[in-house]
Amino acid sequence: MNSEIQIVFFDIDGTLLPSGAEKLPDSTLKALAALRRRGIKTFIASGRPPIHLPLLHALDGIPFDGYVTMNGQYCYLADGTMLYDHPIDPAALRMLLPYIEKEKLSTGFIEKDRSTFNLINDLSAEFCEKMQQPAGDVAARIEAAPIYQLSAFLPADKQEGFLRHCPGCVAVRWNDAFVDVLPEGGGKTEGIARVLEALGLSREQSIAFGDGGNDVEMLQYAGIGVAMGNACPEAKAAADYVTDDILADGLANGLRHFGLI
């Protein structure tokens, strides 16, 4: 058994949860339970915000020690203790508003406990219905609370123009339909670094599992980075090890390969 690793960070979509699935693979559930029995901490590391997690019923009843959410912009323990937060500069968001209204770009403004879209269109309608995300006065939300992330429904060829109108921000994509927009210096790596610091752990004591473009830096940063067999080429290239597909017991096999279960 590997005695050095003390904490594991898991992406959700495509890593813990297969696309379109209603539950985690049985092998993944057993692997998570085995990690807990060994006293190894388990953390979610996802682009999803905290308000999405209760709607992902596949995670119901699965205890995690903490969460790196919104691509590292809001990190907290299972008891709600906040470890790190990094909102977007409100001035950049105010500058963005005229552009997304002119271009009719459906964009979610995500706070800690709510998400509001400027408008809902054909690109975002299904997502907004599934995740219970309404349209509303986003200008008012910018003034009311910190905005940690934007979910912009736009094709890749419009991404550069979007960012020009939102200075000090970067984009990461894990879904073909939309892109997550974060403040510069943000990302899963920064969130994980802050979590490790708060827990008194080193990066060498961590292992991370991911599959998407927004997992690349996380896989490079962790002591061990594991890409799923179904991961994008960029994630596989960044990883120390590529395990099997999520539907072929990939997560459990990856943990087993490194002697963690």
Residues serving a catalytic function are 11
pLDDT exceeds cutoff 90 at 177: no
In a domain, 194, yes or no: yes
One domain for residues 175 and 94: yes
One domain for residues 171 and 221: no
The Cα-based distances of 51 to 55, 70, 210, 251 in angstroms read 8, 10, 21, 25
Spatial CA neighbour of 67 closest among 56, 53, 86: 53
- pLDDT, residue 155, reads 85
> Which three-class secondary structure state does DSSP give residue 72?
helix
In a domain, 1, yes or no: no
Question: Structural domain tally of the chain?
Answer: 2
Res. 152 pLDDT band, cuts 50 70 90: very high
Joined together, the tokens standing for residue 101 give 């209204």
- pLDDT, residue 175, reads 75
Q: Are residues 136 and 117 in contact, defined by beta-carbon separation less than 8 angstroms?
A: yes
- pLDDT, residue 153, reads 96
pLDDT exceeds cutoff 80 at 257: yes
pLDDT exceeds cutoff 80 at 3: no
**CATH code of the domain in which 246 resides:** 3.40.50.1000
- pLDDT, residue 1, reads 59
According to DSSP, the residues that pair with 75 across neighbouring strands are: 68, 84
In a domain, 65, yes or no: yes
In a domain, 154, yes or no: yes
Look at the chain and count its residues. 261
Res. 20 pLDDT band, cuts 50 70 90: confident
In a domain, 2, yes or no: no
Q: Give the range of the structural domain holding residue 145, as residue numbers without chain letter.
A: 90-183
Q: Are residues 69 and 75 in contact, defined by beta-carbon separation less than 8 angstroms?
A: yes
CA atoms within 13 A on the CB side of 47: 23
One domain for residues 131 and 67: no
First-to-last alpha carbon distance for the chain, in angstroms, is 7
pTM beyond 0.75, yes or no: yes
Domain end call among 183, 203, 227: 183
Mean of all residue pLDDT scores within the chain: 95
CA distance linking residue 35 with residue 65, whole number of Å: 11
Characterize 101-118 residue by residue with b for buried, 16 or more Cβ atoms within 10 angstroms of its Cβ, and e for exposed.
eeeebbbbbbbbebbbbb
